Amino acid sequence: MKLQLDPDRLFPVDTRGREIARELYESVADAPIISPHGHVDPGILLRDEPFGDAAELFIRYDHYVTRVLHSVGISLSELGLPTSDGADAAAGSRDVWRTFSANWHLYAGTASGYWLQSTFAEQFGLTEQPDAENADRLFEAIQAKLDDRAFRPRALFARFGIEVLATTDDPMSDLHVHDALAADPTFTGRVVPTFRPDAYLNPLADGWKERVESLASWNGTNPGGFRGYLDALAGRRHYFVEHGAVSADHGTPQPLAIDLEEGEASRLFEQALAGTLDDAGARAFSAHMLFQMARMSVDDGLVMTVHPGVFRNHHTETLQRYGADTGHDLPVRTHYVEPLRPLLERFGNAPGFHLVLFTVDETSFSREIAPLAGFYPSVFIGAPWWFLDAPDAVQRFRAASTETAGFYKGSGFVDDTRAFMSIPARHDMSRRLDAAYLARLVGEGRIDLERAQSVIVDLVVNQPKKVFKL
């Protein structure tokens, strides 16, 4: 089957709506990419080495892709993932690509299929859809491109038009890669770190005690003291700010914030270190630390993003055999209004505080997040993320949030990707969908074309810069 991209893809099917959407899209099609939240390894830009092969680039490390194949009975070993104990041999790259190609039809209508198809056609010039017959030929065609210096990470960074790329980083990282990129006169892009403290705030996380000790060692304080623990976290945040960070990201099971008395928080902290803290106490302590992170954001200016509502590692055997981030994290229902009230009571109107709320429970956009953003100056609506970053879900998000909070309480698009090569396809999808939504409003006489033209530029360029203080 031929691989052809419709130039009007994702636009309305009616003639007038399509014409309006096309005009709006063209005004931002070549705008720079602002990527304020993602998981790309900055080391690929520092080393600037060739990408490996098609299987490594598109399949093996992308759980969006592997979970589709796993769902029809293909083992993760067949997709190139090694087992923790080395008992099962991981398939080689050509075999992985052949398996993927023979099952390409499974991606029809999925977000992954859309991004992959766009990348295959626009970045690699493929004109055939993958299948069992052409798998080897397409593998070699992709490899020929990857061997070209024009496909090195830095060249792609420039060609993609990335103005800012944010990474996600451990609080104790020395950020030497970011420093090296910033000091390198041959690299003109902007790559900023993001403070991600989850494993230091949740006493149930594996290695939490050791992380607390590492904070105390860095800060020169007693590892058993709660006040020193808070000071060390504030110090590491300051270190990140000094090295270019603009945000702190929090992946919590639920967005629960509690303001505990310091004595009670200290008691829970000491129990956690002693290994005697029960689950209820751990939840209370974690919720208090989310409150503390908001307090610190008010103090140091880091944008606070919250990514809640994911049941991590749903399948124990898969976790044990292949590790985390292998496709079995699943969304759960999430509430914001009551759980976040203590935080917003204290900081919701604080000048300069930005709180970006994401969700994988789309019912919360219209029920909770948009109404919160419609009142609190600090609250912004995070873009559709994970399970919701698909065309129809994005359109539902626009309809669910805009009527309550407008266009200017959103975060702008967030690609949230580890797959560097997919960044332009994801941002292009968002721009097309915004053009389509605005075209409908223009066609229905709800806004005029001139207003729509200014809004789409703001959504793509100005809003993410404003929200993330770029």
* pLDDT score for 415: 94
Query: 317 and 362: one domain?
Result: yes
105 part of a folded domain: yes
In this structure, what CATH number is given to the domain that contains residue 113? 1.10.2020.10
Digit-coded pLDDT (tens) for 143-195: 999 999 999 999 999 999 999 999 999 999 999 999 999 999 999 999 999 99
Q: 21 by DSSP, 3-state: which?
A: helix
Query: 364 and 458: one domain?
Result: yes
41 part of a folded domain: no
**Residue 451 banded pLDDT, cuts 50, 70, 90:** very high
| DSSP H helices in 28-175 | 43-47, 54-55, 63-70, 93-102, 111-124, 135-146, 153-160
In this structure, what CATH number is given to the domain that contains residue 413? 3.20.20.140
Q: 311 by DSSP, 3-state: which?
A: strand
CA distance 169 to 92: 30
Q: Which residues pair with 304 in a beta bridge?
A: 248, 355
The structural domain count of the chain equals 2
DSSP readout, 320-347?
HHH-SSSS--EE-----TTTTHHHHHHH
Instruction: Report the chain's mean pLDDT, rounded to a whole number.
Output: 96
CA angle 275, 288, 241 (to 5 degrees): 105
**Residue-number span of the structural domain to which 79 is assigned:** 50-151
44 part of a folded domain: no
CA distance 361 to 287: 20
158 part of a folded domain: no
Query: 355 and 408: one domain?
Result: yes
Query: 102 and 234: one domain?
Result: no
Query: 230 and 352: one domain?
Result: yes
Query: 447 and 340: one domain?
Result: yes
Query: 106 and 172: one domain?
Result: no
> Given the structure tokens 């709006």, which residue do they identify?
24
pLDDT value at 437 more than 90: yes
209 part of a folded domain: yes
Query: 94 and 133: one domain?
Result: yes
Query: 200 and 72: one domain?
Result: no
* Domain-ending residue, one of 98, 117, 151: 151
* Domain-ending residue, one of 91, 122, 151: 151
The first and second tokens of residue 25, run together, are 């899209």
**Nearest CA among 126, 127, 134, 138 for reference residue 55:** 138
E strand or H helix at 199? helix 198-201
Digit-coded pLDDT (tens) for 338-389: 999 999 999 999 999 999 999 999 999 999 999 999 999 999 999 999 999 9
* pLDDT score for 164: 98
32 part of a folded domain: no
Angle, in degrees to the nearest 10, between helices 135-146 and 111-124:
60
101 part of a folded domain: yes
Query: 282 and 310: one domain?
Result: yes
* pLDDT score for 89: 84
**Residue 457 banded pLDDT, cuts 50, 70, 90:** very high
CA distance 257 to 288: 6
Query: 121 and 206: one domain?
Result: no
38 part of a folded domain: no
Digit-coded pLDDT (tens) for 294-350: 999 999 999 999 999 999 999 999 999 999 989 999 999 999 999 999 999 999 999
CA distance 277 to 260: 16
Backbone angles phi and psi of 379, in degrees to 5: -90, 130
* Domain-ending residue, one of 119, 151, 183: 151
Query: 221 and 348: one domain?
Result: yes
pLDDT value at 61 more than 90: no
CA distance 406 to 395: 14
Percent of the chain scoring above 70 in pLDDT: 100
* pLDDT score for 88: 80
Digit-coded pLDDT (tens) for 9-55: 999 999 999 999 999 999 999 999 999 999 999 999 999 999 999 99
pTM value is 0.96
